[in-house]
Amino acid sequence: ISALQLTHPKLYVVTWNVATAEPPDDVNSLLQLSSPKKPDLYVIG
């Protein structure tokens, strides 16, 4: 990891708040895991 990446980390923040619904079993789409630009850190709440 370069110093530039450490000073400008890419975050992906997602929440799941739809009443009592459970998140999907396959979270690939929720976290956009197929995207070519991956974040350095995922924040899930």
**pLDDT tens, residue by residue, 7-45:** 778 899 988 777 787 777 888 888 888 889 889 899 988
Paired strand residues for 42: 12
Confidence bin at 3 (pLDDT 50/70/90): low
The CA distance from 33 to 31, in Å, is 5
Question: What is the reported pTM?
Answer: 0.63
Q: Which of 25, 26, 5 shows the shortest CA–CA distance to 37?
A: 5
**What pLDDT sits at residue 1?**
61
Angle made by CA atoms 43, 22, 44, in degrees to the nearest 5: 0
Helices (H), 1-45: 3-7, 28-31
Helix (H, G, I), strand (E, B) or coil at 11: strand
**What pLDDT sits at residue 13?**
93
In this model, does residue 2 exceed pLDDT 70? no
